[in-house]
Structures are given as structure tokens and as C-alpha cells.
Chain A
Amino acid sequence: MTFTQQELLAELHRLVQTAETKGIQLRAIGGLAVRLHYADDHPAFKRDYPDLDFVVVRKQRREFEAFMAEAGYSPNKQFNLLNGAHRQIYFQNGSELKVDIFVGDFEMCHKISLEDRLTADPLTIPLAELLLSKAQVVEINRKDLLDLTSLLLFNATGDDDSRINLTQLARLCSADWGLYKTVSINLGRVADLVSKADSPLTDSERAAILARSQEILKTFESMPKPLAWQIRDRVGTRVKWYEEVEEVAR
């Protein structure tokens, strides 16, 4: 059973809002969260969405587990038993819809703490962290790159959470050289992508994306860099700077 984008978005809204009524902070992450920040249905960013991804605060993990049963989902018991403190998987009863849960932190190639950041946006994690969740992928794929590009096109940069919060980006990247490095590499990949001759973007769209990307890189240049960051910078990419993410088939 496959779901249309509208059906998935409707389910995303239902889960976040129902959780809210029970006092549970649940926010969307991943491709559909990015989709929620589109200004319009741009043909350049058309993609399929195989599942729903959310973040829940760590301290509400137990309430959340009970909530998912009420919401019509069954846990992947084995996976949740072994990984449930930081990751969980659920399946909608009667369908194959998979819901992937991050508990407290988003942890892939780099770790992004979200425990205290889930109230900034009513539906998704804040834009800055959403951008980082896509830009932190070392072995980035086309979908992630398109998501990253679309975030830069449809959302301005600024100093608060209604936009891509540059202060927050600087805070997280000055605390983690590895995150800074991967994000910088992927912003370069975005520039390559939009600069291609066959890009379906207009000149003004391309200019907006490149300008916002440059703003972020300039923010990195001017952000305060602790001594540990500077030492790690000297070492560079000779030492692995990210965690390995494994593909786990289920």
C-alpha cells in the first residue's frame, strides 16, 4: 500500500497535533518536514517520500510509546528494544507506513541535539537544524541534496527561528568541527548542482540559493572558534570526522 504526498502530510499533521493535545512534543524531520517549508510546488524538487520521520523529546519517550499505540501504530519490538533509547521504528497498523523516530537527538554522521529545540516550530524541527540534518550527510544522495537546495531557496536566513537561524548554525558548528566540515562540503555540492547548465532553476532562484549558501559560509568564517575547534581544524580530514551510518534493512 503506497501513500500519496497529501496522505502522508495529513498523517504527519494528525500525529503532531494529537501528540500536542497529550502534551507530547513531537516534531517532523526528514523530507516531508522540508516539504512543509516549501513556498510552492516547484517541479525541480519533486521526489517520493517513503516514510515519516519525527523527533520526540527524550524525557517524554515513555509517554510517546504509549501514544503511538493509541495512534494506531505497532512498534518494531526488536529494533526498539535494542535501540529505543535513541531510535525507534513503528508501523501503521494495517498498512506498511513506516515511522522513524529520533529520541532527543538527531544522530547520523553528526549529532544534533534537539531536546530543547522542539518548541521553535509548531510542526517541524527548527529550520536551522532541519538544514543541518540534511547538510550533515557525508555520503549525500540526490534526495538529500535537493532537500537542502529547496530549504535554501524557500527560506531566508536570519537571526531567529522563523528563518534559517544563522546564530544557531554558528553555535552548533563552532562546537563541532566535523559538523562544520561536512556542512561546508555539502554547501559546495549545492553550488555545483544549481550552477549546472541543465538546472531547471531560474536565474533569480539560483542567485537566492547561492547567496544564502554564501551567507552561511561567511557566518562560519566569522563565528568564534574555540581552541579545540582550531586544533581539530589543523588535523583536518586526515582523521575521520564523522560517524559511520549503516544501512539497516527491515
Chain B
Amino acid sequence: MSDLFVRKATGLVRSWSVFDAFVYALFSINLITLGLYSFSQMYYFSGGMIDALIIAAIFIFFEVVVYSALIAVMPRSGGDYVWQSRILGGAVGFILAVTGWWFILWLWVPLYGDMFRHIVLVPILSVFGAKDLALWFAGTQKGAFTASVLTITIVSIFIALGMKTYARIQKVSFYGGMLGLLIVIILLLTGNPESFKTAFDANATAMFGAAPGAYDATVQLGTDAGAATPFSGGGLAAVFLVIPYLVFFNLWPNWGATLYGEVRGATDFKRNISGMGWALGITTLLGIVLLFAIKKTIGWDFYVQAGGAWWNYAWGFAPDATPAFPVWPYPALLASFLTNSSILRILVVVLMSLWWFGWSGTVFLSSTRVIFAAAFDRLLPEKVAEVDERTGTPIWALLLMVVPSVVVAYMFNFNIANFASLTLCSTLVIAVTYLGTTIAAIILPYKKPDLYKASPIAKYNIFGIPLITVAGLIFGGFLVFLLYQWLIDPNALYGIGIKNTSSIIYMLANYALAAIIYFGFKAYRKNKGIDLDKVQSEIPVE
């Protein structure tokens, strides 16, 4: 029978389709949560936002190539941890992976919480008339901390529901969120600056009790804060200085890398590229369209000034300059001011809140796979790779995420030890992890030639040099530039470098903790007769 096939091993339909992975990648570089949040913080730059978006996307595409290639070679749960530990060695792999995929996510929790209050809680409460509660969440430290705790609760439930159910939540959020964004863009493209100014003043007073003239007061506060970032232009050097801040938003199309052991067809290099690459391309395009729509009706200068007015106060640079518009200037909420229909307003903020719900699981989901992979290598107690018998929840892995997150969220939200200044540390530590993976990718064809030659990426070369090496060199160079800007910070733009003691101590503490766990467990297992070097020299089973 010529049309019969041969099967040798267990057949399995993996939990996620390529489309699920695409949606996860798209949400990981979430235009509405990460994007609008960081755009509003980037009010003091000289380089154009649009130019920075496009240039950053070009460099990040090489990240997509690097990760797609590594996934195709070793499609394993745990991603960076598995690749680095098998190519660079156990200590480097463990320390870089657990800091970048586990410890630093503790710091991401208050950031997700901050976006939860600004993008979900405040807009929804305000359109339903709960002004006081909306203002409590928007403007108090207790409100911010409560939002962080709610975030942890919601995300823990998502993790307990499992990959398949989370994929469904993502899909609903994707379609609903896209519909919401379409309405926002239409509202903005059909409005004009004059009607927006009138609507802004009226709604700031009616919804939040702001004093009359909130628009002009916001312009003044923003100008005083130094709001300057242009829509485009500003010279190449200035644009490049915008990018280290911008990548807080879009450095993560590969966020699902640790999950690819559960994605169908992960050995297909081109398919991996298309999943992450389309997410990057579509997000960049949507970003350009949304910013253009904002420019048309809200006005670019006002948008940047409103961000400056908010963050200059929120970061404590001007504690007396209380924002005239007393909530974060969320463009979707501002766009909803352009309609008098209550139903349409509710629809806009509810649909746009789905961008947060579809994305929120990313804070823990990818991390759990790294924790599992390390536990299977016996670098953590085996208990952390167990699930609760009744609920199916990886309860110990979750606790390792949740408990420190509550502590870090408390310190961040109440600004203990200057923690509120650490926002970009969340990006830096992960970039270091990515650099480790990128170096692993560059040397893969030479360090593990048999593995590389047997892989589907072996046929891709540029002038005789493996594509994975070329892409790795380009993306690695980009990461080195980012790390230099963040750590040395010659223009004092990012606030997390060597001049910020809290930042340096916090990051070093993460690496020290990882090293203690690694060498501690290595010694402990050696006493039990288990050689972890040997364990980590083998490619884990699928």
C-alpha cells in the first residue's frame, strides 16, 4: 500500500495550535497594556516614537529568528533554561533562566497590577459612575497594591485552568479586544481636536470631579514636566535613545518560548517565525495606526503632555503637581469621551479591558515551565513540579511565584527602598537572559554540530554562515547596546543603571539568589549520588 504511513512513537495532539501561539505572542507585546503604558512614560525624549517603533521592530525580528530556530532544534518546555543549560552549561543556564523567567517576574506583578487598575478597574468603574472607588484605585498606594493582589488572584486562576482553557480565554480576548480597538480607532479618526478638548473638559469634571479647564491645566503640567517626545523624526541618534525604553513594550514576541513543548508543529522553523513574526508585524502596524489616530484627534502634544503630567507626579518628581485629570490618561477612555452614548462607552472600556485579561496569564504561565524544567533536572525540589490532586494546579510552583510577588508588589506600590524606580529592571534582567540564549544560538552549530546538522534549520545559511549565528550576532549586538544604555545610562534617561543603588542591589540579589540555589542543590544532589552535570548534558525528553 503506497499511501500508508509509518509511525514509531506515541502520537500526541499538543495543547496549543500555531494560532494560539501567535495570539500569545501578540498579547506578550501588548499594544494596549505594555504599549500605551510605556508610551505615556516616554514623554521626555527627543527621538520620534514612530521611528523608534519601526527600528526596534526590525532588530526584534532577528530575536524572532533566533528563538524560532532554537525552538525548531529543541522544542522543549522550559525554553531558555533548556537551551542555555545544554549549550552553555548548567550554572549559566540555571542562573540566567531563573532570574529572567522567574525572579524578575515578581517585579512584573506590580506592573501588571498597575496596568490592571489603569486599563480595567478605573475605566470600568468610572463609566459605571463609581467615581470615588475609581479615584481610590487610580491615585492611592493602597489602591495600587489591591490591584496587584487582584492580579495575582486572577492569574493564579488562569494557571489552574490549564493551557487549553487559557488559550480559549486568549482567543475571546483577542477577538473582543480587536473589536474594541477598531471602535477606538474609528472614534479617534472621525473626531477632531476641538470636539475632543470640549469633551475632555466636560468628562474630566463629570466623571472624576476635576476642576474646570482640565485640558489647559494638563497642558501646563505636562509642559512643566518636560514633555517633549515628537511623533516622528528627531534624528537617528535621538531615535536610538528612545528604543531602550520602548522595548519594555515590544521585546517579548518570544515570550511563549518556554511553552513551545506544548505547541503543535514546533519543529517547523518557518511556522515558528510566522507565529512570532506576524505578532511583531501586526502589533507594530497597529501601534503606528493607533498613534496616528491619537495624533489626529487627541493631539500628539496633548497626549505626551498628559503622560508627562501623570508620571511626573506619580514618580514623585513633582509631588505638589497633582494631575488636573486625576486618572492615568488612557487613550481608550479618552476616545470614549468622543461619544455621548453610554452603551458605546461601556462597550469600549469593557472590550478594551480584554487586552489585559488576554495578556495577564503571561506573567506566570511562561515562568511555570522554567520552574518545572529545572525541577525535572533536580535543581529544585521535585515537589515544585507536582500538581494538586484536587484542582490540578501546580501549587508549589505557583507559590514560588505568588509569595515573593506579594512582597515585591508591596515594596513597589508603597515605594519602599525606592522600588518604584525599578520599572525598567524588569526589562533589563530578561534582556540579560535573552543575551545568554542568543550566545547559545550563535555557538550552537559549532558546539553541538550533530544536533544542529540533524535539525530542520541546518539548511539555512547566509554566505555559508548558519542563519542562527548571523541572526544571533545582530540581535546580540542590539542587546549589548540596550544593556549599555540601561546600565551606564550616559544621558540619564532610564534611571536603573549604576547611579541607582536600589536597582543594582535588587538585580544583583536576584543573581546571587539563583547562584546560591544552583550550587546549593548541586552539592546536595552530589551527596545523594546524583551528578547534575550529567543530567544537564542530556537533552530532556519531550
Q: Which residues of A contact B (CB under 8 A)?
A: 62, 65-66, 77-79, 81-87, 89, 98, 100, 107-108, 139-142, 145, 189, 192-193, 243-250
Give CA–CA (A192, B261) in the complex, Å.
Answer: 38
Q: Choose one: A62, A140, A142, A250; the contact of B9 (CB below 8 Å).
A: A250
Q: Write the nearest CB–CB distance from B364 to chain A, whole angstroms.
A: 15
Q: Which A residues are CB-close (under 8 A) to B265?
A: 244, 246
Task: Give B residues with C-beta under 8 Å from A.
Answer: 1, 3-15, 77, 162-164, 261-262, 264-265, 372, 376, 385-387, 389-390, 392, 394, 540-542
Nearest CB in chain B: distance from A116 CB, A: 20
A246 close to B264 (CB less than 8 A):
yes
- Among candidates A62, A83, A140, A145, residue contacting B12 with C-beta atoms closer than 8 Å: A83
A-B contact pairs, 23 of them (CB 8 A): A62-B390, A78-B541, A79-B542, A81-B394, A82-B77, A83-B15, A83-B262, A85-B162, A85-B392, A89-B10, A141-B4, A141-B7, A142-B4, A145-B1, A243-B264, A244-B13, A245-B11, A247-B7, A247-B8, A248-B9, A248-B11, A248-B12, A250-B541
From B3, B11, B392, give the contact of A247 (CB < 8 A): B11
Q: How far is the CA of A98 from the CA of B9 in the complex (A)?
A: 11
Q: Which residue of B lies closest to A185 (CB)?
A: B3
Alpha-carbon distance A77/B385, docked complex (angstroms): 8
Rounded to whole Å, the gap between the CB of B370 and the closest CB of chain A is 13
Instruction: Assess the B9–A249 pair: CB atoms within 8 A.
Output: yes
Are B542 and A243 neighbours in the complex by a CB distance under 8 Å?
no
Measured in the bound complex, the distance between the Cα atoms of B44 and A139 in whole Å is: 59
**Contact B387–A108 (Cβ < 8 Å):** no
CA distance A158 to B253 in the complex (A): 53
The answer on a CB contact under 8 Å between A108 and B392 is: no
B106 to chain A, nearest CB (A): 23
Question: For chain A, what secondary structure do more than half of its interface residues adopt (helix, strand, loop), or is it mixed?
Answer: mixed
Residue pair B392, A250 in contact (C-beta under 8 Å): no
Ordered nearest first, which 3 A-B pairs have the shortest CB separation?
Answer: A139-B5, A245-B11, A247-B9
Q: How far is the CA of A83 from the CA of B37 in the complex (A)?
A: 35
Given contacts A77-B385, A108-B11, A142-B1, 4 further A-B contacts (CB under 8 A): A89-B10, A107-B13, A140-B5, A247-B7
Residue among A81, A84, A249 with the highest chain B CB neighbour number at 10 A? A81
Cα A142 to Cα B3 in complex, Å, equals: 10
In the complex, residue of chain B having the shortest beta-carbon distance to the beta carbon of A143: B7
Cα–Cα distance between A192 and B2 once the two chains are bound (Å) = 11
Residue among A100, A189, A245 with the highest chain B CB neighbour number at 10 A: A245
With A and B bound together, what is the CA distance between A247 and B12 in angstroms?
6
A84-B392, A249-B542 given; A78·B376 CB < 8 A: yes
Shortest CB distance B86–A (Å): 16
Complex Cα distance, B11 from A57, in Å, reads 20
Query: Inside 8 A of B262's CB, which chain A residues have their CB?
Result: 82-83
> Do A247 and B10 have beta carbons less than 8 Å apart?
yes
B4 engages A140 (CB within 8 Å): yes
Q: Once bound together, how far apart are the Cα atoms of A250 and B8, in whole Å?
A: 11
Q: Are A82 and B261 in contact (CB under 8 A)?
A: yes
Residues of B within 8 A of A245 (CB): 11-13
Cα A248 to Cα B14 in complex, Å, equals: 10
Interface residue from B4, B10, B386, B389 paired with A248 (Cβ < 8 Å): B10
Q: A85-B392, A250-B9 are in contact. Are A244 and B4 (CB under 8 A)?
A: no
CA distance A92 to B372 in the complex (A): 24
Judging by beta carbons under 8 Å apart, are A62 and B389 in contact? yes
Contact present for B264 and A244 (CB under 8 Å)? yes
Residues in B neighbouring A82, C-beta threshold 8 A: 15, 77, 163, 261-262, 372
Shortest CB distance B484–A (Å): 38
Nearest Cβ distance between residue A191 and chain B, in whole angstroms? 12
Task: Please give the distance in Å from B293's CB to the nearest CB on chain A.
Answer: 34
- Write the nearest CB–CB distance from A7 to chain B, whole angstroms: 21
Most buried by B among A82, A98, A145, A189: A82
Residues of A within 8 A of B14 (CB): 246
B5 with A65: CB separation less than 8 A: no
| Neighbouring A residues of B376 by C-beta, 8 Å | 77-78
Kindly provide the distance from the CB of B455 to the nearest chain A CB, expressed in whole angstroms: 15
State the CA gap A82–B13 with chains docked (Å).
Answer: 12
Q: Is the CB of A250 within 8 A of B162?
A: no
- Chain A residues within an 8 Å CB radius of B11: 108, 245-248
Taking the closest CB of chain B, its distance from the CB of A88, in whole angstroms, is 11
Which residues of chain B are near A100, meaning CB under 8 Å? 10
In the bound complex, CA of A53 to CA of B292 (Å):
58
Q: Take A108-B11, A108-B13, A189-B3 as given contacts and tell me if A81 and B542 are in contact as well, using a CB distance cutoff of 8 Å.
A: no
Docked pose: A100 CA to B385 CA in angstroms:
21
Q: Is the CB of A189 within 8 A of B1?
A: yes
Query: B162 contacts which chain A residues (CB < 8 A)?
Result: 85
Report whether A81 and B387 are in contact in the complex, using a CB–CB cutoff of 8 Å: yes
CA distance A77 to B394 in the complex (A): 13
Separation of A89 and B7 alpha carbons in the complex (Å): 18
How far is it, in angstroms, between the C-alpha of A100 and the C-alpha of B7 when the chains are bound?
15
What is the CB-to-nearest-CB distance from A147 to chain B, in angstroms, rounded to a whole number? 13
A84–B387 CB distance below 8 A: yes
Set of chain B residues within 8 Å of A250, measured between Cβ atoms: 9-10, 541-542
Give min CB distance, B472 to chain A, whole Å.
27
| CB of B220 to closest CB in A, whole Å | 55
Q: Which residues of B contact A192 (CB under 8 A)?
A: 1
Min CB gap A94→B, angstroms: 20
Report how far A247 CA is from B6 CA in the complex, Å. 10
Which residue of chain A lies nearest to B540 when distances are taken between CB atoms in the complex? A78
A83 neighbours in B (Cβ, 8 Å): 12, 15, 262
With A141-B5, A244-B264, A246-B264 as known contacts, state yes or no: A81 contacts B385, CB within 8 Å. Answer: yes
Q: Which residues of A contact B261 (CB under 8 A)?
A: 82
Instruction: A248 to B540: give the CA distance in the assembly, Å.
Output: 12
CA distance A83 to B5 in the complex (A): 25
In the complex, what distance in Å separates the CA atom of A86 from the CA atom of B3? 30
Residues of B within 8 A of A243 (CB): 13, 264
Chain A residue nearest in CB terms to B17: A243
A142 CA to B163 CA, complexed, in Å? 34
Given A245-B12, A246-B12: A81 and B264 within 8 A (CB)? Answer: no
Minimal beta-carbon separation of B85 from chain A (angstroms) = 15
The residue among A98, A139, A246 with the most chain B CB atoms within 10 A of its own CB is A246
**Complex alpha-carbon distance, A81 and B396, angstroms:** 13
A84 / chain B contacts, CB cutoff of 8 Å:
387, 392
Closest-CB distance, A97 to chain B (whole angstroms): 14
- Find chain A residues with CB under 8 A from B386 CB: 81
CB-CB nearest in chain A for B376:
A78
State whether A145 touches B4 (Cβ < 8 A): yes
Task: A229 to B491: give the CA distance in the assembly, Å.
Answer: 63
Smallest Cβ-Cβ distance to A196: which chain B residue: B1
CA distance A142 to B385 in the complex (A): 39
Instruction: Give the most central of B12, B540, B542: most A CB within 10 Å.
Output: B12
Given contacts A65-B389, A77-B376, contact A248 B542 (CB under 8 A): yes
User: For residue B264, which residues in chain A have a CB less than 8 angstroms away from its CB?
Assistant: 243-244, 246
